[in-house]
């Protein structure tokens, strides 16, 4: 912890500066056969307003890493520093979008988002809060369904609400744990566009886990490739230099896309 | 803890020929779903047939028992007064005169007549009650104006009044059971330390018989009520019913709270919801299906034990009615008891149906 003081940075980094600093991160799960080391010596810096995707084989510790950043999982060693403050628990400054939409099924879409809005804007008036919630629901294309119960919505629509909820928190970092993993490929494409559209407006630093190579390239500024566990680490980082805002069609037709794709697949198949 | 409630649930399922009827009303999908009109009619006929069979069995069974009792009476008369007395008794029984009616299981017709006579009794009693209040209206108004206690009708309770009293007691008992068991269940489900503190209490006191609970409550209320004026028997019944029936809700609430979907708790953690918000926005709504299953068992148990507790507490409800009729030993007492049995059963069935309807409107389904 003492070395950390040197790496503490200003509270509000400008664009391009390191916002999230992961230092010597370690995660150990105790098992009856002895400790199982999931992550060890993991170093990663993520810059402000950067969109990073993390790709790796199942069980390599991607989700463990993300849930430690979210503060939902305890850190065994090292530290995660957000804006100069080490992370000790969960908080609304880190919005999380889970693989399952995790909406509260007994509430409407609007109530689900309002639950978040109420927590971040405790002093705002009821109408102001409603406006915020409705704004983000409109952004994800759900203006007409805000009063439907969450359980009545399709998986894709539920995940849209999940995106609206996460953005409405105005988080410093957005954490996405395979948010589109359970959707069919058409809906998945739609939601990638929705996500990018909202993200282009809000420019929130985003970290997303995915299994999908194309998705990783299409969304990210950098693709982080993780080695397989145990003791997983960062294996390779690929910078994606497409300009934003991105258009799916032109990116898929771009020569570089296949270059990036080959790089990712080569890494994953080794 | 979970299994015990499930076992209790299974015990309450009534097996046999009425199962299809029950499941139909309980809203569970029966194994063979009657879709077309033909099979619906077939099912209705099946139910009707079973009802006819039931009453036929009862009718002929009671007739056989009646004959045994009659023969014993005739033989006893023969021993005492010879053949002439035996013949006189036989003739007397044949006329159906009350003075020599054998005391046996009443037939369906007897029970029906007992029901009718109780209805007439109810009309007479409520008329006399109305008359009492009409006559005392002026005096009561004066007494009220002076701040004194008004005169209350103290006559015998009719059967309908007793049903009302029993329903009121069971309602109060279930409400009390809810107020005790749901908060404790939430705490037990949330916190392992609280669970350790409560677990032994639950395990030891859950199987205790209603009669013992009644005695315990009686010991306490007797002292408390020394200086306070209150309807002692009603309060004793309510508390005893609550203590007997609350366990299913307590156990189900704690299991429901302990098994809230981890995703929902993660949402609560990320949003950093406060304790109360976490309980009322996340934990309670998501464990409501389990809580309601517990409440349904609680209501059934409450109604079942109420009859026994009322009998002991001398509360003027259905339980004491049954007991008083048995002690009374009038010619139609047995028939009244069996009539009360049907009323108790039908009310219990309706209570369960009401709980199910409540559950459907209040609980979310995935």
Each residue of A105-133: pLDDT tens digit? 999 999 999 999 998 888 889 999 999 99
* A9: pLDDT strictly greater than 70: no
- DSSP one-letter code for B60: H
Between strands A18-31 and A34-47, the pairing is antiparallel
Looking at the domain assignment, is residue B235 inside a domain? Answer: yes
* CATH label of the domain that carries residue A27: 3.40.50
Give the domain range for residue A230: 1-90+222-270
pLDDT at B186: 94
- DSSP one-letter code for A42: E
Bigger pLDDT: B31 vs B221 = B221
Q: What is the percent of chain B with per-residue pLDDT over 90, rounded to a whole number?
A: 46
How confident is residue B355, by pLDDT bands cut at 50, 70 and 90? very high
Residues B149 and B171 in one domain: no
Looking at the domain assignment, is residue A195 inside a domain? Answer: no
Establish if A104 touches chain B: CB-CB under 8 angstroms.
yes
A175-190 per-position pLDDT tens digit: 999 998 888 888 888 8
Evaluate whether B285 touches B164 at the Cβ level (below 8 Å).
no
Please tell me the distance from the alpha carbon of residue A65 to that of residue A54, in angstroms, as a whole number.
10
Residues B60 and B188 in one domain: no
Looking at the domain assignment, is residue B105 inside a domain? Answer: no
B194-222 per-position pLDDT tens digit: 999 999 999 999 888 888 999 999 999 88
Q: For an interface test with B, which of A92, A98, A102 has the most B Cβ atoms less than 10 Å from its Cβ?
A: A102
Distances (CA, A) of A109 to A91, B138, B274: 22, 61, 21
Between strands A173-177 and A94-97, the pairing is parallel
Give the domain range for residue B115: 110-153
Q: By three-state DSSP, how is residue A111 classified?
A: helix
Distances (CA, A) of B63 to A64, B59, B66, B98, B319: 77, 6, 5, 17, 27
Work out the minimum CA distance from A67 to partner chain B, whole angstroms: 10
Q: Hey, are the CB atoms on A104 and B282 less than 8 Å from each other?
A: yes
Residues B67 and B126 in one domain: no
Closest Cα in chain A to B269: A90
* B11: pLDDT strictly greater than 50: no
A44-77 per-position pLDDT tens digit: 999 999 999 999 888 888 889 999 999 988 999 8
Q: Hey, are the CB atoms on B267 and A102 less than 8 Å from each other?
A: yes
B96-123 per-position pLDDT tens digit: 777 778 888 899 998 999 999 989 988 8
Window from A65-74, B8-17, B34-43, B152-161 with minimum mean pLDDT: B8-17
Closest Cα in chain B to A121: B271
Number of domains in chain A: 1
Q: Hey, are the CB atoms on A92 and B264 less than 8 Å from each other?
A: no
* B239: pLDDT strictly greater than 90: yes
Which runs of E-coded beta strand occur in chain A?
A: 18-31, 34-47, 51-55, 77-82, 85-86, 94-97, 173-177, 205-210, 222-226, 234-239
Number of domains in chain B: 3
- Selecting from B266, B272, B366 the residue whose C-beta is nearest the C-beta of A105 gives B366
Residues B142 and B162 in one domain: no
Q: By three-state DSSP, how is residue B79 classified?
A: helix
pLDDT at B32: 54
- Selecting from B272, B288, B365 the residue whose C-beta is nearest the C-beta of A119 gives B272
Residues B121 and B94 in one domain: no
Residue with tokens 């294996």: A235
Among B79, B100, B121, the domain-final residue is B100
Q: Hey, are the CB atoms on A98 and B266 less than 8 Å from each other?
A: yes
Among B118, B153, B188, the domain-final residue is B153
Please name the residues in contact with B357: beta carbons below 8 A apart, sequence gap of 6 or more: none
Closest Cα in chain B to A99: B263
Closest Cα in chain B to A69: B270
Q: What are residue B309's phi and psi, to 5 degrees?
A: -70, -40
Interface subset of A 143-162, CB within 8 angstroms of B: 149, 151
Q: Hey, are the CB atoms on B270 and A70 less than 8 Å from each other?
A: yes
Residues B71 and B117 in one domain: no
How confident is residue B34, by pLDDT bands cut at 50, 70 and 90? low
């Amino acid at each position: 912890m003492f070395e950390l003081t040197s790496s503490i940075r200003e509270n509000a980094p400008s664009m391009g500066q390191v916002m999230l600093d992961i230092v010597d991160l370690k995660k150990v799960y105790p098992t009856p056969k002895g400790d199982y080391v999931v992550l060890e010596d993991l170093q990663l810096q993520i810059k402000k307003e950067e969109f990073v995707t993390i790709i790796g084989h199942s069980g390599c510790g991607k989700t463990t890493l993300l849930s430690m950043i979210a503060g939902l999982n305890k850190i065994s060693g090292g530290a995660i520093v957000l804006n100069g403050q080490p992370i000790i628990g969960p908080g609304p400054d880190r919005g999380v979008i889970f693989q399952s939409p995790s909406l509260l099924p007994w509430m409407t879409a609007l109530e689900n988002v309002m639950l978040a809005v109420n927590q971040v804007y405790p002093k705002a008036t009821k109408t102001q809060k409603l406006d915020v919630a409705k704004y983000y629901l409109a952004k994800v294309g759900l203006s007409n369904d805000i009063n439907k119960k969450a359980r009545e919505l399709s998986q894709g629509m539920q995940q849209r609400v999940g995106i609206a909820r996460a953005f409405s928190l105005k988080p410093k970092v957005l954490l996405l744990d395979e948010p589109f993993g359970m959707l069919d490929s058409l809906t998945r494409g739609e939601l990638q566009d929705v996500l990018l559209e909202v993200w282009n407006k809000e420019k929130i630093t985003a970290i997303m886990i995915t299994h999908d190579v194309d998705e990783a390239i299409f969304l990210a500024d950098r693709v982080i490739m993780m080695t397989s566990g145990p003791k997983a680490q960062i294996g390779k980082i690929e910078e994606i230099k497409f300009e934003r805002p991105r258009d799916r069609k032109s990116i898929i037709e771009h020569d570089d896309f296949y270059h990036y794709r080959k790089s990712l697949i080569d890494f994953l198949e080794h | 803890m979970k299994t015990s409630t499930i076992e209790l649930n299974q015990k309450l399922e009534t097996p046999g020929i009425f199962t299809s009827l029950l499941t139909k009303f309980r809203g569970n999908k029966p194994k063979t779903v009657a879709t077309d009109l033909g099979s619906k009619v077939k099912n209705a006929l099946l139910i009707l047939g079973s009802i006819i069979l039931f009453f036929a069995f009862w009718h002929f069974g009671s007739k056989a028992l009646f004959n045994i009792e009659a023969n014993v009476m005739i033989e006893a008369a023969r021993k005492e007064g010879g053949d002439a007395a035996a013949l006189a008794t036989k003739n007397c029984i044949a006329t159906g005169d009350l003075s020599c009616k054998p005391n046996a299981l009443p037939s369906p017709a007897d029970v029906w007549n007992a029901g009718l006579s109780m209805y007439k009794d109810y009309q007479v009693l409520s008329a006399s009650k109305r008359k009492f209040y009409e006559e005392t209206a002026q005096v009561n108004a004066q007494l009220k104006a002076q701040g004194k206690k008004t005169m209350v009708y103290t006559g015998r309770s009719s059967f309908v009044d007793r049903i009302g009293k029993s329903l009121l007691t069971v309602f109060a008992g279930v409400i009390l059971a809810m107020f005790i068991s749901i908060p404790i269940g939430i705490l037990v489900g949330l916190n392992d330390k609280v669970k350790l503190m409560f677990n032994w209490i639950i395990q030891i006191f859950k199987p205790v018989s209603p009669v013992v609970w009644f005695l315990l409550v009686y010991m306490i209320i007797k002292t408390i009520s020394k200086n306070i004026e209150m309807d002692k028997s009603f309060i004793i019944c309510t508390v005893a019913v609550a203590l007997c029936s609350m366990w299913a809700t307590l156990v189900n609430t704690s299991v429901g709270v302990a098994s809230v979907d981890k995703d929902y708790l993660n949402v609560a953690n990320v949003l950093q919801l406060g304790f109360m918000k976490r309980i009322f926005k996340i934990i309670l709504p998501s464990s409501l299906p389990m809580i309601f299953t517990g409440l349904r068992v609680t209501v059934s148990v409450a109604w079942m034990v109420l009859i026994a507790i009322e009998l002991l507490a001398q509360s003027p409800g259905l339980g004491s009615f049954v007991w008083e009729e048995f002690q009374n030993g009038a010619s139609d007492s047995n028939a009244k008891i069996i009539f009360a049995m049907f009323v108790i059963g039908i009310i219990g069935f309706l209570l369960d149906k009401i709980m199910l309807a409540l559950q459907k409107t209040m609980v979310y389904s995935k």
